[in-house]
Amino acid sequence: VTSIGIVSPIGLDAGENFKSLALGRGGIRLSAVYNVMTGDVTLSNEQIVRQLDLPASDYSRTTLLALIAAREAWGGSKHDPLIRTGLISATSIGGLDRSEKSYIERRLKGLEGTSKELVHDIASTTDAVARDIGIKGCISTISTACSSGANSIMYGARLMQNNLLDRALVGGSDPLVRYSVEGFRALGIYDPEVCKPFDARRKGLNLGEGSAFMVLENEHSISRSGRKPICKLTGWNNSADAFHQTSSSADGKGAWLSIIKALEKARIQPTQVDYINAHGTGTRNNDISESKAFIKVFGRDMAPFSSTKGFIGHTLAAAGAIEAVFSVMAIQTQSVLPNLHFETPIEDTGLQPAVKLERRSIEHVLSTSFGFGGNCTSLVFSKVK
Minimum gap (Å) between residue 118 Cβ and other proteins: 5
What is the rounded (10 degree) CA torsion for 255, 348, 298, 23?
A: 90
Question: In this structure, are residues 184 and 286 in contact, taking their beta carbons and an 8 Å threshold?
Answer: no
Q: Which residues bind other proteins (CB under 8 A)?
A: 92, 96, 99-100, 103-104, 106-108, 112-118, 120-124, 126-127, 130-131, 135-145, 151, 155, 158-159, 162, 164, 178-179, 182-183, 185-188, 238-246, 253-254, 257, 371-375
Of the pair 138, 222, the CB lying nearest other proteins is at 138
Minimum gap (Å) between residue 180 Cβ and other proteins = 8
279 labelled catalytic: yes
Catalytic residue among 120, 195, 231, 279: 279
Q: Which is nearer to other proteins, 200 or 260 (CB)?
A: 260
Q: How far apart are CA 91 and CA 383, in angstroms?
A: 28
Catalytic residue among 120, 195, 231, 314: 314
Q: Please tell me the distance from the alpha carbon of residue 71 to that of residue 74, in angstroms, as a whole number.
A: 5
Please classify residue 200 by burial: count the beta carbons closer than 10 Å to its beta carbon, then call 0-12 exposed, 13-18 middle and 19+ buried: middle
The catalytic position among 120, 146, 341, 364 is 146
Q: Which residues contact residue 110 at a Cβ distance below 8 angstroms, ignoring those fewer than 6 apart? A: none
As measured in angstroms, the least distance from the Cβ of 292 to other proteins is 16
Where does residue 363 rank: exposed (0-12), middle (13-18), buried (19+ CB within 10 A)? middle
Q: Which is nearer to other proteins, 71 or 272 (CB)?
A: 71
User: Is the CB of residue 358 less than 8 Å from the CB of residue 305?
Assistant: no
Catalytic site residue 364?
A: no
Distance in angstroms (rounded) separating the CA atoms of residues 224 and 190: 48
Cβ proximity to other proteins: between 140 and 283 the closer is 140
Q: Between residues 157 and 195, which has the closer beta carbon with respect to other proteins?
A: 157
Q: How far is the CB of 73 from other proteins (least distance, A)?
A: 19
**Of 186, 170, 251, 190, whose CA–CA distance to 1 is shortest?**
170
Contacts of 185 (CB under 8 A, 6+ apart): 36
Output the smallest distance, CB 186 to other proteins, in A. 4
Q: Could you confirm whether 231 is annotated as catalytic?
A: no
What amino acid positions are annotated as catalytic residues? 146, 279, 314
